[in-house]
Amino acid sequence: MQMDFNPEKRYIDIWLAGDEEKPNVKDLKLIFPDYQICVFHSGTGDLAALTAELLRINAARMADDEESDQSLDGFNMGTMSM
């Protein structure tokens, strides 16, 4: 376990190896009530494959967003009548 404590920015980062037990964050919050506490776990997955999948998903979402924006081009709420 590695703990990075930053009193200036008021955060604590806790880095755990795959087999290490998570610390009790509630207890840490009682000791450091004004700090943001983040716990990071190392994994066993293939980092390159998981990153590629994340990039593929994000690209697909961006394409969907752009398609939605284009379908709304020219749509003017002021000209709509009922």
Q: Model confidence at 74, in pLDDT bands (50, 70, 90)? A: low
Q: What is the pTM of this model?
A: 0.54
pLDDT(79) > 80: no
Q: Which two tokens stand for residue 24?
A: 């009790």
**Which run of H or E residues covers position 8?**
none
Torsion of CA 6, 11, 15, 19, to 10 degrees: 130
Are residues 16 and 4 part of one domain? yes
Supply the pLDDT for residue 61: 93
Residues 6+ apart with CB under 8 A from 29: 35, 37
Residue 11 lies in domain: 1-42
Q: Report the percentage of the chain scoring pLDDT > 90.
A: 59
Are residues 58 and 28 part of one domain? no
Q: Model confidence at 82, in pLDDT bands (50, 70, 90)? A: very low
Q: Is residue 21, in this structure, part of any structural domain at all?
A: yes
Torsion of CA 26, 31, 37, 40, to 10 degrees: -70
The count of structural domains within the chain is: 2
